C-alpha cells in the first residue's frame, strides 16, 4: 500500500474530519468514488486537484475488499495517499463483514473513514454480490457496518454507506434506519433505482430519507454546477452533495467556475508530473476537462496522442498552456 513517507498523522497538517465538516458546514462538497472500469480516475493526483477548488471531502475509487485484504500487490495498486489527501474516505465493495472489517482496519491509519458501496448497478458487481444488490440485504449491511465499527476503535473514523433507492421508498427508509441503528455514520443517496440510468434524480426520495434518520444524508446525482447544490438543498436539506461527472468535466466546479479554468489545467499538469501519474490517467482527465473547449477535429487529434510530451506540445501550441 503506497503512501508518502510522511503520511502519518503527526505532521502538523490541519484538516477537519468528516463529522466536523457535517457539523460545521451548511452542506459538504464531496468528490465521489468511481467504479473499477475507470479506476485510473479520481485517484490521488485528481483528489489533490479538486481539493484546491473548495472540495471538502474526497473518496477513493471503489476497491474490491477481498483482493485488497489478501494481496499486497492489490493494496499498492489500488490505494495511494499522502498527508495532504485528507479528509479521505476509502470506498470498498464487499459481500461479507469479514472482508470489509479487515479492509477498514488496514486503511484506518491513513484515512478518515470507510464506505460500503451499496449502489453500483453494473452487472459484474451485482453478480459478485457487490453494489446495488445489497440494498435488498439490510441485515447483511447492518452486520458489515457493525463489524467495521467494532474493528476500528477510533472516535472520528466513520463507517458510511452509499446506496441507490428502491421503487418503494418505504423500503429505502427502513434500510437506512437499520444501517443507522447498526452504527452507520452517514449515508449517501443516489436518487435513482438500480435499473435507472439517465432519469432525473428523485429529490423527493432524498428529502424523505433525510427526514427519517438522525445521521447526515448526502445527495448524489445530477450535480453539474455549484448552483445545483443550492437548488437541491432547497428541495432536500441534504447535509452534503457528491459529484462525479461534473468534477471530471470541471474540477473547479465547487469553487463556482462554470467551466474548467486554464489555471486548473495547469495545476493538473504540474500535479501529474510531480506525482508520476500514468499517461493514461494524465491524458484521460485532460480529455474530460477540455471536452467543451475543443472542437470535434481537435478532440479527435488530442484523443489519439500517445505520450506526455505530445500532449504538452499540443496544449502549448493550441492553448498557450
Catalytic residue set: 120
| CB 74 within 8 Å of CB 68 | yes
| Rg of the chain (C-alpha set) | 19
Phi and psi at residue 125, to the nearest 5° = -70, -50
Distances (CA, A) of 63 to 60, 78, 93: 8, 7, 6
C-alpha–C-alpha distance, residues 158 and 264, integer Å: 31
Phi and psi at residue 33, to the nearest 5° = -75, 165
Is 284 exposed, middle or buried (CB count within 10 Å of its CB: 0-12, 13-18, 19+)? middle
| CB 224 within 8 Å of CB 246 | yes
Amino acid at each position: 500500500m503506497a503512501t508518502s513517507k510522511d503520511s502519518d498523522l503527526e505532521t502538523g497538517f490541519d484538516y477537519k474530519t468528516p463529522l466536523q465538516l457535517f457539523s460545521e458546514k451548511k452542506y459538504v462538497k464531496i468528490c465521489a468514488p468511481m467504479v473499477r472500469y475507470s479506476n485510473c480516475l479520481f485517484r490521488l493526483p485528481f483528489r489533490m486537484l479538486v481539493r484546491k477548488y473548495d472540495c471538502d471531502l474526497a473518496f477513493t475509487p471503489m476497491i474490491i475488499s477481498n483482493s485488497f485484504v489478501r494481496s499486497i500487490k492489490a493494496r499498492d495498486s489500488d490505494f495511494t495517499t499522502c498527508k495532504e489527501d485528507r479528509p479521505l474516505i476509502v470506498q470498498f465493495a464487499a459481500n461479507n463483514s469479514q472482508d470489509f472489517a479487515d479492509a477498514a482496519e488496514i486503511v484506518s491509519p491513513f484515512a478518515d473513514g470507510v464506505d460500503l458501496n451499496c449502489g453500483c448497478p453494473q452487472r459484474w458487481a451485482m453478480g459478485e454480490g457487490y453494489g446495488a444488490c445489497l440494498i435488498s440485504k439490510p441485515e447483511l449491511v447492518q452486520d458489515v457496518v457493525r463489524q467495521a465499527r467494532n474493528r476500528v476503535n477510533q472516535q472520528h473514523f466513520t463507517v458510511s454507506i452509499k446506496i441507490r433507492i428502491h421503487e418503494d421508498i418505504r423500503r429505502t427508509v427502513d434500510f437506512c434506519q437499520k444501517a443507522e441503528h447498526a452504527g452507520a455514520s452517514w449515508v449517501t443517496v443516489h436518487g435513482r433505482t438500480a435499473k435507472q440510468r439517465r432519469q432525473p434524480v428523485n429529490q423527493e426520495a432524498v428529502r424523505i430519507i433525510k427526514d427519517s434518520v438522525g445521521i447526515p444524508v448526502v445527495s448524489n446525482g445530477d450535480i453539474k454546477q455549484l448552483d445545483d447544490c443550492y437548488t437541491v438543498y432547497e428541495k432536500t436539506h441534504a447535509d452534503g452533495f457528491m459529484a462525479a461527472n461534473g468534477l471530471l468535466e470541471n474540477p473547479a466546479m465547487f469553487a463556482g467556475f462554470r467551466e474548467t479554468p486554464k489555471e486548473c489545467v495547469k495545476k493538473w499538469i504540474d500535479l501529474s508530473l510531480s506525482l508520476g501519474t500514468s499517461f493514461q490517467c494524465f491524458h484521460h482527465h485532460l480529455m474530460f476537462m477540455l471536452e467543451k473547449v475543443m472542437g470535434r477535429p481537435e478532440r479527435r487529434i488530442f484523443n489519439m496522442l500517445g505520450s506526455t510530451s505530445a500532449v504538452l506540445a499540443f496544449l502549448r501550441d493550441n492553448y498557450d498552456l
